[in-house]
Chains A and B, each alone.
Chain A
Amino acid sequence: MESNAGMMIWQLIIAALAILAVSIMGWVLIHRTRHVRRKRRLQKRRELLNASFIHYLVDERDLTHATGYDRILKLAGKGHQQEIIDVAHTIVTHVRGNTAKRVRAFYVSTGLVEVSLKKLTSRDHYQLITGMRELAAMEYKEGVTYLLPLLHHTDPIVRTEAHIAVVHLADDPLFFMKKVKNFVIWEQINVLNALKMRTANSIPPAGTWLSSPDILVVQFCLLVIVQFDQRECLPEIHELLKSDNQRRVYLALLAIQKLKDSRSQRPVKELLLSAKNQTVRKLAMTVLHELSGPVQWLAISEELKKTTHLRLTA
């Protein structure tokens, strides 16, 4: 009797385990099928979207009576705006000219821009960054006002993306300099890379900000001046050589070295005569040597020796 009862318990356990295994397998199978179907649906929709975009961009010249345009609008209505924005974003990153212009016009006229603007109010940093990147890629200039509060975001990555987006969209790409805080070097490099995307003549002279009390701002301005060869800022750089802060002087010397302008010879020579800091003196000597050339350098070094001797004897 006892052995029969034990057998029954075992049989029950095995049956329960079998049922559990079958239900797990069934659940996995259903889940997989659903996943595959969803993937296929997504793929199909993406292909339809791509085809509609191509049809709209290549075959249709009339914006209002266009089947591709209508098909995309229909898809947008079904709640797939993000997919449409993704496709549009890819196109404008690879293509410029009239085709990109048409995509951007579509983005604004269909209200897809609202989806990107909505992301700027999100608490999710990823959403914030995506929204900013979309606005920048689509060259939505009105978006600058929405980006301004993000320039002071606590997260440095969000802040950098906001700077980059503003540089892309604003008429004066350096206007954010007025309120910039904690502008660390990697932020500066990212913004400088964004500036490089613009035409050189659309960048205002950065010399205006060289008098800023924030040394990081001064450093960035000097980077901009050197990158875009803004020689009109030389008087401001020369003024910086008179600063009491030796770090500012050093940075100014580095910029002068890169600009290689002979007009800087006299201010550097004057600095060399008055500088007390050894590092600054050493760099000033190198810069002056590079600016003057070997022949002129001989005369200058003689003159420097005399002056130093006179100063020492006095």
Chain B
Amino acid sequence: MEALSLQPIQRLFTPGNTPLVLVCEGEDIIRKLLIRYIEHATHWEVHGAGDGHLAKHFLDLRNYDMVVSALFVDFTNGLELLHYLRKEKESDIPYLLMSSDTAEETAIRAFEMGADDVVEKPINMKELVARMKYQMRKRQMSSLHGI
């Protein structure tokens, strides 16, 4: 059982599969609320990580279809996690950054580093889910057309 959990579980994303999403948010209540809301609104499988180390660990273990992360989380930040995902994991899955930093530079830097979307904090849950659905649809279309 232990050996199994240490091995990366390979999942092939197909339109029929339930998408797997990772939410990285430091504030306990907000993370849980996000997970429950997204699960309720999309019927996707959503996992939560309270800090950067845990998020990286989860990314090593599972093949996620999307990552939603806050800009400020313990032990790392959303941009570092994005760097880890794009450069070290060489993954192109959609990455949404939730940022309370209203500075334009943060958003520009996130897009330059490969973020697919930047959502302003305080978050509007409905809007976030709509953006996530759009990103997932885009990924589905590209996987269907083999792009």
Contact = CB atoms under 8 A, between A and B. Distances in A.
A23 interface: no
B13 interface: no
Contacts, number: 51
Given A54-B33, A59-B40, A97 B27 contact: no
SS class, residues of chain B in contact with chain A: helix
Given A54-B36, A58-B36, A100-B122, A94 B30 contact: yes
A165 B33 CA distance: 27
B43 to A, nearest CB: 13
A265 to B, nearest CB: 31
Interface core residue of A59, A92, A93, A95 (most chain B CB under 10 Å): A95
Interface stretch (B3-11, B82-90, B123-131, B137-145): B123-131
A199 to B, nearest CB: 14
Contacts of B109: none
Contacts of A50: 28-29, 32
A57 interface: yes
B101 to A, nearest CB: 13
Contact-residue size bin, chain A (C-beta under 8 Å from the other chain):
10 to 19
Contact of A57 (B27, B33, B121, B127): B33
Contact of A90 (B27, B123, B124): B27
B79 to A, nearest CB: 19
Contacts of A90: 27, 29-30
A97 B125 contact: yes
Interface in B91-126: 121-126
B122 A96 contact: yes
B123 A91 contact: no
Interface residues of B, number: 16
Contacts of A59: 36, 40
B32 A93 contact: no
Contacts of B123: 94-96
Contact of B33 (A91, A96, A97, A98): A91
Given A50-B28, A90-B27, A100-B122, A95 B40 contact: no
Contacts of A95: 30, 33, 122-125
A291 to B, nearest CB: 26
Contacts of B27: 90, 94
B51 to A, nearest CB: 16
A69 interface: no
22 contacts: A50-B29, A51-B32, A54-B33, A54-B36, A57-B33, A57-B37, A58-B36, A58-B37, A58-B40, A87-B29, A90-B29, A90-B30, A91-B30, A91-B33, A93-B122, A94-B123, A95-B30, A95-B125, A96-B124, A97-B127, A98-B125, A98-B126
Q: 4 closest pairs, A vs B, by CB? A: A97-B124, A96-B122, A94-B30, A58-B36
